[in-house]
A and B are shown apart, each in its own frame.
Chain A
Amino acid sequence: MTPADARPDPQPDAQSDARPEPVPADVVQAFGAGDVEALGTVYDAFHRAVWSVAMSVLHDRGLAEDATQETFLRAWRAAAGYDPARPLGPWLFTIARRTAIDVHRRESRPTQGGHAGEQDSVVSMPGIERAYDAWQVRSALEELPADERDIVRMSHFEDMTHREIAEALDVPVGTVKSRSHRAHRRLAGRLAHLMTGGDA
């Protein structure tokens, strides 16, 4: 994996997203035909990953709500032109990232003074280089069993030791250790393309 600043606009491809498609083919087809119910299914499969991309760029829950909803609406509106033979995830990521950028630019635009164009050209998005990581990691976390995902969250986000996690979950420390290793092993395996230089 290259440093963030050397990877300004990563695009996940089918290889880096090589995992079972979380949305059945018939639902993808219905999504392409504009089915609202299929949109709901696509949302269920990808909303956390899209949300993480939005938050990584915008760092604001209100704006992330706008960006997440707009991402799915844009995808749904444009789904007629989407090739169902291709994985849905990378396509959605591209829309999510662009939408988050659009929301950021919209919010950065001055409301008075008529310098919107100038403002757009200098807008900075410190979180944009993290959007790809956010998508990849959140997607990988979604594939973990809930008990393993909880341990990863407690370890990394809440800075809890194995002993503290064991007390919180009321399970033996050995169970936490084995689950933790299994979870991190799954994560590392799922994100191996990031470890071997295959950024996209």
Chain B
Amino acid sequence: MTDSADRTDPTDLWADYLDPAEPRPELPADERRALDRLAATLGTPDLWSEPPAGLRAALLQAARREQGSPEPVAEPAPEPIAAPPVTAPPVTAPPVTAPPVTARPVTAPVAEQVPDPVVVPLHRRSRRTWYVSGLGVAAAAALVLALAWPRPQTQTYQIAGTALAPRASAVAELETRSAGLAIRLEIKGLPPAPAGAYYAAWLGGTQGSVPVGTFHWRKGGIPIDLWSGVAQDRYPNFFVTLQREGQAPSPSSAVVLNGQVGPTPP
């Protein structure tokens, strides 16, 4: 990738060695070992995984609670989305009414005292309590982040897990691009697809369903990039199904995620 004139800088050699698509240059053994280790780290799923979006809000809420500060008010969480019947194909299922979460920005009060440096053992607290009580704040923080993201054409929607995957949820970012509708999906709580199966994502509307991509979620932790050739204003129902290999290429009845990413059709 680099010209010979650039070779005076060892960084170029290291870059070529690190890049899996480039021929590996000759390097001293200790540098090779170091670079091999770096490359191994770069290929680790743990390295690329992302903390859950609600963690920041939960952290700040816990800190405010310790301080005794009033907690910011968040709008109530949206009504849970009713899971479609497992036997009813999502193609014909009526679109769910799950508009994007709306919430007001979080405003944090200024601390009035230095916190007690004594460390409280983590196991005394209930993670469920954090999440239940922080759900509204988490939704508000997620929307604030989405609104602050410097991509004016990006729209963010909350996608809920169904009865088949009640712990699953996702945030879908939709962006209209020249090639089509780019969908970036950040999933939480969805188990990996079992062997012989995979997940398929769809956009559905009154005219049927259109596939927008498949994934297995066996490594997890990173956003999934999907593409759609149809617009969400005519196909406003976004859902994810569990598919069996060899099955017909149409949505199965096993819907695991479901949400609305456009206007509800009349």
Residues of A within 8 A of B (CB): 1, 3-4, 33-37, 39-40, 43-44, 47-48, 51-52, 55-56, 59, 61-62, 64-66, 68-70, 72-74, 76-78, 80-81, 102-103, 106, 127, 130, 133-134, 137-138, 141, 152-153, 155-157, 159, 161-162, 168, 170, 177-178, 180-181, 184-185, 187-189, 191-192, 194-195, 197
Contacts and interface: CB of A to CB of B under 8 A. Distances in A.
B41 A134 contact: yes
Interface of B: 1-2, 10-12, 14-16, 18-22, 30-31, 33-35, 37-39, 41-52, 55-56, 58-60, 62-64, 66-67, 69, 108-111, 113-119, 121-123, 127, 130, 179, 219-222, 225
Given A81-B117, A134-B41, A157-B45, A51 B50 contact: yes
Query: Which of A44, A47, A127 has the most chain B CB atoms closer than 10 A to its own CB?
Result: A47
Nearest to B58: A69
Contacts of B30: 1, 197
Nearest to A57: B46
Given A36-B60, A80-B114, A153-B222, 19 more contacts: A1-B37, A36-B111, A59-B46, A61-B49, A61-B52, A61-B220, A64-B49, A134-B44, A153-B48, A156-B20, A156-B39, A156-B42, A157-B47, A177-B1, A185-B11, A185-B12, A187-B15, A195-B14, A195-B31
B169 to A, nearest CB: 13
Contacts of A134: 41, 44, 46-47
A66 B131 CA distance: 12
Contacts of A188: 11, 14-15, 18, 35
27 contacts: A33-B114, A36-B67, A36-B69, A36-B111, A47-B55, A52-B49, A61-B49, A62-B127, A64-B51, A65-B52, A69-B55, A77-B116, A80-B114, A106-B122, A133-B37, A134-B47, A155-B21, A157-B43, A170-B179, A180-B21, A181-B2, A181-B22, A184-B16, A184-B18, A187-B15, A194-B38, A195-B10
A39 B60 contact: yes
B114 A181 contact: no
A33 B63 CA distance: 13
Contacts of A35: 110-111
Contacts of B67: 34, 36
B42 A37 contact: no
Nearest to A44: B56
B122 A37 contact: no
Q: Which 3 A-B pairs have the closest CB atoms?
A: A188-B14, A55-B46, A1-B34
B167 to A, nearest CB: 11
Contacts of B47: 52, 55-56, 134, 137-138, 141, 157
Given A66-B127, A195-B31, A180 B1 contact: yes
A36 B109 contact: yes
Given A37-B110, A52-B47, A157-B219, A76 B115 contact: yes
Given A152-B42, A185-B15, A195-B31, A48 B111 contact: no
Contact of B19 (A62, A180, A192): A180
B111 A34 contact: yes
Contacts of B38: 133, 137, 187, 191, 194
A68 B42 contact: no
Contacts of B20: 155-156, 159
A196 B65 CA distance: 46
Contacts of A189: 11
